[in-house]
Structures are given as C-alpha cells and as structure tokens.
C-alpha cells in the first residue's frame, strides 16, 4: 500500500545540503570560519549570484565537518561573554550584558582620531598593541582590493598598517577565512571584527584551546549591520547615477565623525556624500540583510571591548557633524579589556574622559536597545516557521522578551513570521556568480 505524502519519510540531507541550509535560511553572515574549518578546497567563500560572499561547497564534504561547522557558526550559535572572562568586578545590565566599565574615549593622536570614523579607539588600541610588542599582529579587515564595497581579511604587523585599515566597513567581509592558519603560526595576536565574528571566534575557543592562548584581545565595534549588495547597487545606480562596475574605491566613513561616504571611479571622478545620505536619518530607512535584523548581539557581548558611536538619538546631525571631532563610548567587558584600556591611556594612545552608564548607552544606541528587546520574539517567529534559529547563552533573550510585554512581543513574533512567509528570510542555494 502506498504511503500518503504526510507519511513519507524525508530523505536524509547530504552534508552540502546541511551546510547550505544556513545560507538558505538567511543566517549566514559571511565570516568565513567554515572555510577555515573545512579547508578552501572543500568549502570556499565566494561571490554568489545574490551578490554576497557565501560558503560554496567545492570538494568532498562530510557530515563530521558539517557537525563541527554547525557548532561553531555564528548563524547557529551566539553566546555572551564567557563565564571564565567574568570576575568580581563584572557588572550586569539587562540590555547591555556583562561589563567592567563604560566610558567616553578617543584616540589621543588627532590623526588617528580623525581617520578612525568616530573616535579611533579600536585603531589606537591596535596600534598600541603592535608598537609595544604585546601582540605580533592584528587580524582585522580593510577595504577590499577585489570588490571595493567589500572588506578583506588583513594581517597588520605595524602601526602604520593598522591605521591604513581604519574606517568602518559596512559591506560583506570574511575575516576568519584562514583563522586556523593564523593560529598555526603560534604567535600572539589581537582580533578586530564584527560582534558576530567575535561570536564565531569564541565558539572556536570552546574546541581549540589555542584561541584563548594566542588571541590576546577580541575587539569590536557596536554594529548596526551592513548594506546588502542589492542596497549598495541601488545607492550607486539610482541615488548617485554611477556604474558599480566602474567603482575602484569606496569608503563608508572615516576622516571625520562619521566623515563622508566617498566613491572613487575608474575615470578619476570622486563623489562624496554625507553618512546620512547613505544610511538615512533613522533606522527605519536602513537596508540590512535579514540576519542583521534578527541579530541577538549587535553590542559585542563576547568581546573584551566594544566601541560605539555617541550621537544622541543614534544618528549624526547633518548640521553639526562636520564640527564633531569624534568620541567613542567604550563598553569594557572583561578584566583583560579594562587593563588594556588603562595601559593604553597611560601610554598616551587613548584619552578616556567621562564614565557613562547603560542608560546613556540606550540614549546613543536606541536601535541596539530596541533590537535587543525584540530578538527573543523574532526568534520565536523563526522557530514557528521552521527556520534555523541560533542557539544562545548569556544573552538574556527570554528576560528581555518578558520585559518587553506580551503585546509588543507578539507584534515582533508575528511580523517575523510574515517576513518568512513572503520570502524575506530566505536566500537561494549558494551558486558562484561566474
């Protein structure tokens, strides 16, 4: 007797299908850790038809390797500051998580402060670490030589190289494509990446003890997401009237706070626009990948130090931004991070001014506060629709959702379910663009 459709047993997924499911459910953030784990002959980050960089299966992928990737991928696992990094000096906030200190700071060198897109804190810390020899290099991102709107993984061994990589990269970037090779060097280094990249590195530390031994510091910007390739094409073609194929350089911000968005063309033409022309004047105008919209940790909870913008209301004032020298708010989460800030200030690399608190952070990062409250309910919406939902720990999502209230939580949950149903939480199976 034939089985009904509902009674048929599903065919087991192949290793490639299991890996591709992360991308297909729009949970891939393109960090590149899967390439390092599987090896580039098996899984390679490539430019795909959607315009993103996504993992493409190129070799014989086995279930054991996919199991490891699934345990490490920040699309499937995101955790807060490890308990081992917390001590008696750790304070806790429902929204902002574990921290030792919150303060205003900026790079003491005016050149670094100006180049660094807000206050240059992360750049100054990287320069301090390599110039003092505390680390041998900084693993971070710089503007891509391949796709000008992307970022590329880079290794900087000098302060000048660190400074050359200053400025936020709001495009696809895979800084962990060869992190195991970096660990194989056996040399101490610091890592600067997005919060989701930090989450991936912390996941790796659970199974590879070299991470805690060799990665002396994990530093991150507080992240609002990045511009998806389709949004970038619209900005270049429709807003600026430019041919994306003729773009040779793209700076999202920097050389000011936030500094201009700068486009360089093959014929020598340079177009500069304000940061608010690129992003809009508030978060309702942001164009983001779906994964960024459901991100449970844009505030860098697992980093040693997170640095944020400090604009009241969360967006620069176009009338005054040209006169803003730039100041970061720093969320120092670990004792190791607190010691680094203290020593960098004593050595003249950082200027630390006022202490601030979590409610100040709410006022300058309202979108982060709002998304933190919404994340748990959005995850419930994904789960109800059978989508991939990252495992989390030490992020307080249930407590935040309870504090949000049942009506607002239902609004977030139902809105996410609707987005899933109309296809906004899906991507096609990764296929190379060319």
Residue 269 predicted with pLDDT over 50:
yes
- Give per-residue pLDDT as tens, 317-374: 888 888 899 999 999 999 999 999 999 999 999 999 999 999 999 999 999 999 999 9
Nearest to 242, CA basis, from 212, 267, 211: 267
Percent residues over pLDDT 90 in the chain: 90
Residue 196 predicted with pLDDT over 80:
yes
CB 254, CB 117: distance < 8 Å:
yes
Q: What is the pLDDT of residue 378?
A: 98
CA distance 218 to 202: 9
CB 306, CB 221: distance < 8 Å:
yes
- Give per-residue pLDDT as tens, 368-392: 999 999 999 999 999 999 999 999 9
pTM: 0.95
Residue 423 predicted with pLDDT over 50:
yes
Average pLDDT value over all residues in the chain: 95
Residue 146 predicted with pLDDT over 60:
yes
Residue 14 pLDDT level (bands cut at 50, 70, 90): very high
CA distance 294 to 25: 12
Q: What is the pLDDT of residue 5?
A: 43
End-to-end CA distance of the chain: 47
Query: Phi and psi (nearest 5°) for 69?
Result: -60, -45
Residue 6 predicted with pLDDT over 70:
no
Nearest to 153, CA basis, from 134, 172, 167, 170: 172
Q: What is the pLDDT of residue 321?
A: 81
Length of the chain in terms of residues written = 434
284: which residues sit within 8 A by CB, 6+ positions away? none
Residue 117 pLDDT level (bands cut at 50, 70, 90): confident
**Tokens 């709002």 -> residue:** 370
CB 75, CB 388: distance < 8 Å:
yes
Task: Find how far residue 364's CA is from the centre of its chain.
Answer: 19
Residue 2 pLDDT level (bands cut at 50, 70, 90): very low
Q: What is the DSSP string of 84-142?
A: GG--TT-EEETTTEEESEEEEEEESSHHHHHHTSSS-HHHHHHHHHHHTTSSSEEEEEE
- Give per-residue pLDDT as tens, 57-78: 999 999 999 999 999 999 999 9
Residue 282 pLDDT level (bands cut at 50, 70, 90): low
Percent residues over pLDDT 70 in the chain: 97
Q: What is the pLDDT of residue 363?
A: 98
CB 74, CB 196: distance < 8 Å:
yes
Query: Span 15-22, mean pLDDT?
Result: 98
């Amino acid at each position: 007797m034939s089985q009904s459709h509902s009674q048929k047993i599903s065919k087991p997924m192949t290793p490639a299908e299991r890996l591709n499911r992360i991308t297909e459910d729009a949970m891939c953030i393109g960090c590149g850790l899967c390439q390092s784990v599987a090896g580039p002959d098996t899984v390679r980050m490539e430019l795909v038809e959607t315009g993103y960089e996504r993992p493409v299966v190129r070799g014989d992928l086995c279930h054991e390797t996919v199991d490891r990737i699934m345990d490490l991928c920040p699309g499937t696992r995101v955790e807060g500051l490890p308990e081992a990094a917390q001590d008696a000096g750790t304070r806790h906030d429902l929204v902002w998580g574990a921290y030792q200190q919150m303060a205003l700071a900026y790079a003491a060198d005016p050149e670094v402060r100006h180049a660094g897109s807000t206050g240059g804190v992360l750049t100054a810390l990287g320069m301090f670490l390599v110039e003092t020899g505390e680390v041998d290099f900084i693993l971070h991102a710089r503007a891509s030589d391949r796709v000008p709107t992307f970022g590329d993984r880079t290794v900087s061994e000098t302060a000048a190289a660190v400074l050359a990589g200053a400025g936020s990269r709001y495009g696809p970037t895979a800084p962990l494509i060869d992190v195991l090779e970096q660990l194989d060097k056996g040399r101490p280094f610091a890592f600067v990446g997005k919060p989701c990249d930090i989450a991936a590195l912390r996941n790796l530390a659970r199974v590879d003890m070299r991470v805690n031994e060799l990665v002396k510091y994990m530093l991150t910007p507080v992240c609002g997401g990045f511009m998806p390739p389709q949004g970038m094409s619209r900005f270049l073609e429709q807003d600026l009237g430019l041919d994306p194929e003729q773009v040779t350089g793209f700076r999202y911000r920097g050389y000011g706070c936030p500094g201009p968005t700068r486009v360089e063309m093959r014929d020598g033409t340079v177009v500069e626009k304000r940061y608010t022309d690129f992003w809009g004047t508030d978060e309702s105008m942001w164009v983001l990948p779906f994964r960024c919209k459901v991100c449970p940790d844009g505030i860098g909870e697992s980093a040693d130090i997170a640095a944020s913008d400090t604009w009241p209301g969360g967006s620069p004032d176009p009338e005054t931004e040209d006169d803003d020298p730039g100041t970061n708010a720093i969320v120092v989460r670990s004792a190791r991070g607190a010691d680094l800030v203290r020593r960098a200030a004593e050595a003249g690399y950082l200027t630390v001014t006022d202490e601030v608190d979590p409610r100040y952070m709410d006022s300058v990062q309202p979108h982060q506060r709002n998304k933190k409250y919404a994340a748990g309910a959005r995850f419930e919406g994904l789960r109800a629709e059978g989508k991939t939902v990252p495992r989390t720990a030490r992020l307080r999502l249930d407590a935040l959702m309870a504090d949000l209230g049942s009506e607002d939580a239902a609004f977030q949950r139902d809105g996410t379910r609707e987005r899933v149903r109309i296809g906004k939480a899906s991507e096609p199976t990764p296929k190379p663009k060319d």
